[in-house]
Amino acid sequence: MDRNLKIDLIKVPAHGDDLYNTQADSLAKDAHSSLQPTVSPLAFCYAPCLLTFNSLPIDMNIHHFLHSIADARALLSFCSIA
């Protein structure tokens, strides 16, 4: 399957007056100076569910996770045929 993707790279001067560049700089600076995020175990009580795999929480898009599992199974199946 071919997908055509066109990407335009635009050089934004450092410390320019671009609104989005300024916002990105500000967010990066805030994230750099803030403490590491903490997770309260009680927060999971309010979550609809916590998906785990081999006792580890799945911290990615579940659709992508299941797709990668299916790909791994297909590869194992292919290898067992060869």
pLDDT at 31: 78
DSSP E strands: which ranges in the chain?
52-53, 56-57
Share of residues in the chain with pLDDT > 70 (%): 79
pLDDT at 71: 92
Q: Could you give the CA distance from residue 64 to residue 3 in angstroms, rounded to a whole number?
A: 18
Provide the residue ranges of all domains of the chain, joining segments of one domain with +.
Answer: 48-82
The pTM score is: 0.36
pLDDT at 47: 64
Spans of the chain, pLDDT less than 70: 1, 15, 37-47, 82
Q: Could you give the CA distance from residue 65 to residue 48 in angstroms, rounded to a whole number?
A: 18
pLDDT at 20: 81
pLDDT at 38: 62
